[in-house]
Amino acid sequence: MVFLQIFIAIPVVVLVTQLYLFAMSREGELRQVASRGLGITFSTCGVVSLVFHRPFFVLLGFFLIMVGLLLMAKGLDRLDKKIYIDRYVNEPGQE
């Protein structure tokens, strides 16, 4: 049974890696849309796999959740990085 689970896990990990690299190969707004969509999908699949309470599915679920959160974070990246969040417009000494 463990051999079968490992036999299933390897193609799943390869597929997740390929989809991650596909999303990261996009530029600009397409990258944001692909990253957010895949991030939500991977996180959802990870949470669903945690429901089965089997060690194999729990590890796979945690992996999917981590990759999903990473993709969602990359999807929230700003396109225009000239304005920083920690800088105020009306600070003294800045024009």
Interval 47-78: pLDDT, tens: 999 998 888 889 999 999 999 999 999 888 76
What's the predicted TM-score (pTM) here?
0.75
Does a structural domain hold residue 34?
yes
Does a structural domain hold residue 82?
no
- Mean pLDDT for 10-39 is 90
Which of 76, 57, 79, 80 has its CA nearest to residue 68?
76
Q: Residue 64 belongs to what domain range?
A: 28-77
Does a structural domain hold residue 8?
no
User: Is 60 exceeded by the pLDDT of residue 32?
Assistant: yes
Does a structural domain hold residue 48?
yes
Q: How many domains does one find in the chain?
A: 1
Q: 16-39: string of b/e by CB count within 10 Å (b at 16+)?
A: beebbeebeeeeeeebbebbbebb
